[in-house]
A and B are shown apart, each in its own frame.
Chain A
Amino acid sequence: MNHPQRAAVFTSDAERTTWHDETLWFVRQKRDKAVYAIPEFQQLRQLASDIKEHTLSRLDEYLEQFERNAQANGVQVHWAADAAEHNRIVLGIMRGVGATSLVKSKSMLTEECHLNPFLVQNGIAVVDTDLGERIVQLREEAPSHLVLPAIHLKKEDVGETFHLHLGTPKGEKDPQALTEAARLHLREKFLVGQVAITGVNFAIAETGAVVVCTNEGNADLGVNLAQVHIACMGLEKLIPRTADLGVFTRLLARSATGQPVTTYTSHFAKPAPGRQIHIVIVDNGRTRQLGRPDFRASLKCIRCGACMNTCPVYRRSGGHSYDFTVPGPIGAILSPNIDLHQHSSLPFASTLCGSCTDVCPVKIDIHTQLYKWRQLIAQANELPAAKKWGMKLLSSVLARPGVYRFGGKVAREGLRLLPHGLTHATAFNPWAKARELPEAPKQSFREWFEQQSSIPTGQA
């Protein structure tokens, strides 16, 4: 299935679509309120973009500086070229300390690498501790949003899942009660977790520290109770200075949920005595994206999710319709770098309205990149045949005014003279499923204008 097909399934439940759209629009509105309250917000976006751009332009130096400082802090740094190597490294660390259980706070990178199934196959018990992540983990689903992993679910769905797995009373759907049940269930897991994995929001080159932002406190709780902390990061998470965090912490939560800052902004640099910190730096296609001038700006992403909250298509098609770790507009420009063929419908899952670009806190030109991926997809012959040949024909007609005039007239006359049932047959014309075609007039503008020109001026 491609995006339009999955989206059609999603929208066929009209009520749920309304709910999904309105819930995420509400998040977008909270974001707006937070943004309007900061007069320098647009300057902050520019600063964030400039800092990220600069970092990318000297990324090798910053990576080496970061590694040096992290090692001086007593941290072990690992490098993984791809997902498989990342997963092997993590398993190796676990085996090295004889651990069989793992608590994990949110990390899109480990989702991207499909770490969980790999570890489970190798006999490791993995518990996602972010509430939303835990919900989808219990349901054996993928997260449907970067920061709101279970946003596709209603409280009844969560109630049912918790009834099955955590033994909450059947029919319990109060978010407060369900969250309390998860708190108690997950506390047990925290207390026995031998190894804790976290993602990384920012890695600071000048100190070797990694910064993790959460609302629930699950990252800190997991890490600070476990013997070993493994922080997994894409190599684009680097920023040069601690002071740069001033810019990013002001943007991240406001853009994501409209909060002024996340509840916990945690800076991990040195392991506590007797404990270990490992940092795994992952490439997995990122250096390739860095080499694409039109698309490298996508590496500035700080995974705030604002582009999906604002995207009118995402809100009405759901995160799973993208069938990629990162859904929404940003996913649609990251995924073709990973597999152009498999994800060729994603850059077309947009009207190019540009709202994503306007909310993005690091000013990624998302909709321009969508447009550019479309060109590459067409060149790589990945367009559906009807689209491709239709466009070739159209272009050749539009470069020849005579043929064009004739074709337009035929279309209009056809629409005017053919019966409604034929012109609106949805098998041939998807337009007509929910919409009427324009009413065809007797005369085109061109014909009108030609008549006018034969009348003396001033009479038009």
Chain B
Amino acid sequence: MSSSRESILAAVRANRPPATALPPVADFGGEASVERFTEWLHFIGGQVVRLAPDQPLEDAVQQLFPKAVRIASNLLPATVPVNGQTTTEVLEAVDLAVLQGELGVAENGAVWVPEANMLHRALPMITQHLALVLDHRHIVATMHHAYAAVQHTGAYGVFIAGPSKTADIEQSLVIGAHGARSLVVLLR
């Protein structure tokens, strides 16, 4: 290994402050309700749609995105097949991705999406619109609970909270920066 590694570690050792304790993992409780999750997701520009128990996913998607032609999904019949080898050109043309979310966070509207649910790592961001399907029983109160439930974040995984946005021009909020222009959570 490089000599910089050794010299940096030596400098850290030489300059290390006196030992202090690592606090125990935090948990402040909190409300894990669908209402709170919905409220926050709205606040950050997303949308929550509750599916009726027997409503097929295709119907809901058809209603919400009548104009979506190129749809990537492993949850319903897709029009664009996507896997880890799919080329950038194909990915770039996707109108809508419908993917499984694992976990929702009530305090901020975020949804945990691990790599296994993405089809391709770039799909949740490169798609023009994103729909995440979420089991309403999988909503936790805070990020503390979310990390406790996720445990290991795996090879790659993302908490996605609402559509892509920016406020870099005069602090005015614009939805749809580089990632998905809209985000809908379909609650089962």
Least Cβ distance of B167 to chain A in Å?
7
Least Cβ distance of B148 to chain A in Å?
7
Least Cβ distance of B3 to chain A in Å?
9
Q: Are A148 and B171 in contact (CB under 8 A)?
A: yes
Size of interface on A: residues with Cβ below 8 Å to B: 96
B165 at the interface (CB under 8 A from A): yes
Q: Are A225 and B17 in contact (CB under 8 A)?
A: no
Whether A78 touches B2, Cβ cut-off 8 Å, given contacts A23-B171, A218-B177, A263-B179, is: yes
Partner of B164, one of A50, A250, A263: A263
Distance in angstroms between the alpha carbons of A288 and B169 in the assembled complex: 37
In chain A, residues 191-235, which have Cβ atoms closer than 8 Å to a Cβ of chain B? 191, 204, 207, 209, 215-218, 220-221, 223-225, 235
Q: Are B178 and A186 in contact (CB under 8 A)?
A: yes
Q: Are B176 and A183 in contact (CB under 8 A)?
A: yes
A27 at the interface (CB under 8 A from B): yes
Partner of A267, one of B20, B88, B142, B154: B154
Q: Are B44 and A150 in contact (CB under 8 A)?
A: no
A79 at the interface (CB under 8 A from B): yes
Q: State which size class the interface on B falls in.
A: 35 or more
Whether A64 touches B9, Cβ cut-off 8 Å, given contacts A257-B167, A261-B110, is: yes
Chain B residues near A259 (CB-CB < 8 A): 44, 108
Among residues of B, the one whose C-beta sits closest to the C-beta of A129 is B178
Chain A residues near B151 (CB-CB < 8 A): 242
B19 at the interface (CB under 8 A from A): yes
Chain A residues near B65 (CB-CB < 8 A): none
B76 at the interface (CB under 8 A from A): no
Q: Are B2 and A79 in contact (CB under 8 A)?
A: yes
B54 at the interface (CB under 8 A from A): no
Distance in angstroms between the alpha carbons of A295 and B164 in the assembled complex: 37
B11 at the interface (CB under 8 A from A): yes
A270 at the interface (CB under 8 A from B): yes
Whether A260 touches B11, Cβ cut-off 8 Å, given contacts A26-B171, A216-B165, is: no
Among residues of B, the one whose C-beta sits closest to the C-beta of A74 is B155
Chain A residues near B18 (CB-CB < 8 A): 57
Partner of B157, one of A204, A247, A267, A273: A267
Q: Are B178 and A217 in contact (CB under 8 A)?
A: yes
Q: A267-B154, A272-B156 are in contact. List 17 more A-B contacts (CB 8 A).
A: A47-B23, A50-B20, A58-B16, A63-B12, A151-B171, A158-B170, A179-B176, A187-B178, A218-B178, A246-B148, A257-B167, A260-B161, A261-B105, A263-B160, A263-B163, A267-B153, A272-B121
- Measured CB to CB, the residues of B under 8 A from A are 1-2, 4-5, 7-9, 11-23, 25-26, 28, 40, 43-44, 84, 88-89, 91-92, 105, 107-110, 120-122, 124-126, 142-148, 150-172, 174, 176-180
